[in-house]
């Protein structure tokens, strides 16, 4: 019997790899119970995740109490499902959603499918009354947060709801030394991934309603429209467990480990540990060695069986959780010292990822217009019919409906040379209007 996916995953598991990537349970260390017993469907004796039975209601109540919200929901479709529900609950077809340039591709896709226009904002002063809602990503993949309190104040002064994609910040409500969650900083809707930084199974997520400015009935309607009607109760149970575990977790020890690692690697090598807001998100810069983050990530994976969350032309990004061990840090430390000692310097393009600026046509028009496929090098000045992003992190490089720029083409070419996974580009070609 041929089972290629199972075979690949068994091979991965048997290697006993070290994970500085998601999910946050770190190769099942943080999974406290046998969740396979939870794989049931909606029966009279079990549950309805989108219903109002006492078990689900109580789990969501506990989630809401912990994150200090008006109402919260456990999701099993990841933050992508949460992003869709937030947008559809706050913005009508034909209206405009203001977005930060680093938004996830699910934001653009949702707007395109639902007939919502987008306006890219780079500054708080860009928020104007002509938009129906504002959606920002905070924190981003590099552990950098936005000023949610000031954004909230600006939005609410204009009677505009603030939506926050906090996929990488579910742990921010935890104890000691972490940033504050958007759920308590004035956001109206917040979604989080429980599997990225907590000990839940992949796909576990939370959706939080934090104010009265969004109709609860509309959120429920959009949740039923977007979410699967056959949720995984293994994922749902793990999300429930992750909330309970986080409520008792002390982050001081793992933050100390992170700080000691960053200090040691900075003192003993020319690797730079970048400053950010999340002490458990480690970003290492290899530009002093003329090494790309992609090449370092590949060497760690192939030589040392160490997986990092993502890489770019200069950096690698590490996700650390309370289930990361001291021995993991030591293995990574020695591996990095060997890599920077033994590797010849390379010529790495000194270019940064471009950010989406503005659309020429709406994402929906870009998606549904007649298209043709052209070589990426011939696409400069054309209108993109697809969104393009490097995955991870999934942040949009070219927005559907946006004019393709020379900077974007050069950056995409550079990361493709490093064998990065670029969504929206196939065999060096892109779909254009």
Which 3 state secondary structure label does DSSP give 44? coil
Residue 64 has pLDDT above 70, yes or no: yes
Which pLDDT value is given to residue 238? 96
Report DSSP state, residue 102.
T
**The token pair that represents 365 in the structure block:** 């028009």
Q: How distant, in Å, are the alpha carbons of 29, 66, 112, 252 from that of 20? A: 13, 27, 34, 18
> What value does the mean pLDDT take over residues 120-139?
95
- Per residue in 135-177, pLDDT (tens digit) is 999 999 999 999 999 999 999 999 999 999 999 999 999 778 8
Band (pLDDT 50/70/90 cuts) for residue 318 is: very high
Choices 3.90.1150.10, 3.40.640.10, 3.40.367.20, 3.40.50.300: CATH for 35-91+132-247: 3.40.640.10
Q: Give the residue extent of every domain in the chain.
A: 35-91+132-247, 251-342, 363-432
CATH architecture classification, 251-342: Alpha-Beta Complex (3.90)
CA 105 – CA 92 distance, rounded (Å):
19
CA 359 – CA 385 distance, rounded (Å):
11
Give the number of other Cβ atoms within 10 Å of residue 353's Cβ.
20
- Per residue in 65-78, pLDDT (tens digit) is 999 999 999 999 99
Which pLDDT value is given to residue 32? 74
In this structure, which topology does domain 363-432 adopt according to CATH?
A: Molybdopterin biosynthesis moea protein, domain 2 (3.90.105)
Which 3 state secondary structure label does DSSP give 209? strand
């Amino acid at each position: 019997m041929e089972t290629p996916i199972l075979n690949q995953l068994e091979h991965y598991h048997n290697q006993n790899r070290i994970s500085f990537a998601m999910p946050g349970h770190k190769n099942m260390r943080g999974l406290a119970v046998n969740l396979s017993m939870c794989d049931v469907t909606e029966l009279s004796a079990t549950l309805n995740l989108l219903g109002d039975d006492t078990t689900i209601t109580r789990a969501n109540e506990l989630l809401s109490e912990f994150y200090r919200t008006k109402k919260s929901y456990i999701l099993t479709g990841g933050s992508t499902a949460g992003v869709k529900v937030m947008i559809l609950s706050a913005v009508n077809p034909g209206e405009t959603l203001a977005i930060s340039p680093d938004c996830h591709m699910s934001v653009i896709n949702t707007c395109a499918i639902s007939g919502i226009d987008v306006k890219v904002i780079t500054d708080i002063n860009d928020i104007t009354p002509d938009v129906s809602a504002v959606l920002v990503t905070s924190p981003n993949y590099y552990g950098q947060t936005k000023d949610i309190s000031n954004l909230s104040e600006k939005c609410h002064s204009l009677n505009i709801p603030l939506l926050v994609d906090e996929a990488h910040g579910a742990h921010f409500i935890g104890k000691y030394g972490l940033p504050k969650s958007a759920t308590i900083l004035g956001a109206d809707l917040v979604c989080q991934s429980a599997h990225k930084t907590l000990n839940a199974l992949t796909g576990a997520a939370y959706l939080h309603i934090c104010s009265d400015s969004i109709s609860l009935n509309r959120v429920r309607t959009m949740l039923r429209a977007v979410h699967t009607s056959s949720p995984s109760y293994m994922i749902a149970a793990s999300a429930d467990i992750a909330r309970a575990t986080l409520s008792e977790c002390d982050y001081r020890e793992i933050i100390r480990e992170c700080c000691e690692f960053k200090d040691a690697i900075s003192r003993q090598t020319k690797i730079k540990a970048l400053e950010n807001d999340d002490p458990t998100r480690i970003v290492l810069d290899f530009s002093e060695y003329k090494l790309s983050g992609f090449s370092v990530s590949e060497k760690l994976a192939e030589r040392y069986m160490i997986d990092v969350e993502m890489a770019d032309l200069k950096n690698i990004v590490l996700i650390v959780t309370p289930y990361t061990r001291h021995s993991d840090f030591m293995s990574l430390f020695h591996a990095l010292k060997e890599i920077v000692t033994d590797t010849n310097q390379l010529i790495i393009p000194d270019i940064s990822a471009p950010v989406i600026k503005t659309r020429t046509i709406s994402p929906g028009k870009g998606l549904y217009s007649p298209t043709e496929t052209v070589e990426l090098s011939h696409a400069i000045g054309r209108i993109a019919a697809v969104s393009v992003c490097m995955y991870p992190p999934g942040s949009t490089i070219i927005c559907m409906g946006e004019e393709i720029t020379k900077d974007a083409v050069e950056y995409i070419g550079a990361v493709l040379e490093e064998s990065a996974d670029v969504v929206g580009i196939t065999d060096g070609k892109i779909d254009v209007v």
